[in-house]
Amino acid sequence: MVIVFDIGNTNITIGVFSGEHLLFDLRLRTDIGYTEDQYFAGLNALLKYREIEPGDIEGGIIGSVVPAVTRSIAQMFRKYFRKEPVLLTPNTKLNIKNLYANPSEVGDDRLANAAAGRVFFPGKDLIIIDYGTAVTFDVLDSKGRYLGGVIMPGLRLSLKALFSNTAKLPQVELKFPDKIIGNTTEKSIQSGIMNGAVSGINSFVKAIKKEIKSPAAQVILTGGDAENIPLTMLDAKNVHVDADFTLKGFKIIYDINKKE
């Protein structure tokens, strides 16, 4: 079995694979104050519940947007799993060509999404939308070239910014109101956040397709908050939704780089 760590700003998503098959995924809270021992205590309890011991894990890969936590997870893996994890570095082998002006600026999760897109949708122009704390739109052309993308705040980050920087606006539940025009402050905020998210997706997808001259580009939706976006409200058709797309991408990168 191979274990994948996708360290995000809010959660660490962990996938356990047997061959190409994702057996299950787990969540730990991202906390830069945690030591490798604290992270292992939480992870080991979850693995034991699934009757998995550290010795059952043959390898692992760590992708992260939080460098401080990367170090703790890597140290944990070496200490308790007694193996060297694959870490994404400028020397990591990929199945895509990174055309970013500064390739090292591209987040690990974005590279994983591109790697997965290249495998699952070969020969197609792709727009991969990862809807989490931040929302990323990543563009991969039919030749496997990573062109770049768009980054904007996610649902919860937008709501937090609005709530934190205004004195009288209340915290609200993330859900769609019945109408665009809210007749209460709560519904007005919900309309702005939720409908704004859908409008943002529709607007950027349309603009990206036009810019790359690919009206039939495949749209892929993943990320922790993807489930909050109704496909019926999206202009793009045949949107592929896969909550585990990033984990699968990291596993692909692991397979490319694993030592024989």
Domain assignment present for residue 101? The answer is no
* Segments in the chain below pLDDT 70: 165-168, 170, 259-260
Among 41, 68, 87, residue at a domain's last position: 87
Q: How many CB atoms lie within 10 A of CB 80?
A: 17
Q: Do 235 and 129 fall within a single domain?
A: yes
In this predicted structure, what is the pLDDT of residue 16?
97
Give catalytic residue positions: 109
- The answer on 128 and 232 residing in a single domain is yes
Residue-level pLDDT at 30: 94
Q: Read out DSSP for 130-183? A: EESSEEEEEEE-TTSEEEEEEEEE-HHHHHHHHHHT-SSPPP------SSSS-S
Environment class of 72 (CB within 10 Å of its CB; exposed 0-12, middle 13-18, buried 19+): buried
Per-residue pLDDT at 167: 60
Chain Cα centroid distance, residue 2: 19
Does residue 35 sit within a domain?
yes
Q: What is the pLDDT of residues 196-214, one digit of tens each?
A: 999 999 999 999 999 999 9
Do 172 and 235 reside in the same domain of the chain? yes
In a domain, 92, yes or no: no
Asked whether the beta carbons of 131 and 231 are under 8 A apart, the reply is: no
Residue 30 within any structural domain of the chain: yes
What is the pLDDT, as a whole number, of residue 228?
Answer: 86
Q: Same structural domain for residues 168 and 215?
A: yes
For residue 97, is it within any domain?
no
Q: Could you tell me if 202 and 127 lie in one domain?
A: yes
Total number of domains in the chain: 2
Are residues 57 and 127 part of one domain? no
Q: Are residues 127 and 79 in the same domain?
A: no
Give the domain-ending residue among 68, 87, 106: 87
**CA distance linking residue 119 with residue 220, whole number of Å:** 13
Co-location of 59 and 152 in the same domain: no
- Does 251 map to a domain? no
Q: Is 37 within the bounds of a domain? A: yes
* 127 and 225 share one domain: yes
Both 24 and 128 in one domain: the answer is no
Domain of 26 in residue numbering reads as 2-87
Class of residue 119 by CB neighbours under 10 A (exposed 0-12, middle 13-18, buried 19+)? middle
Domain membership flag for residue 44: yes
Nearest to 151 by CA among 165, 132, 124: 132
pLDDT at 259: 62
166 shares its domain with 62? no
My answer on whether 127 and 30 are in the same domain is: no
- Domain of 15: which CATH number? 3.30.420.40
Q: What is the pTM of this model?
A: 0.91
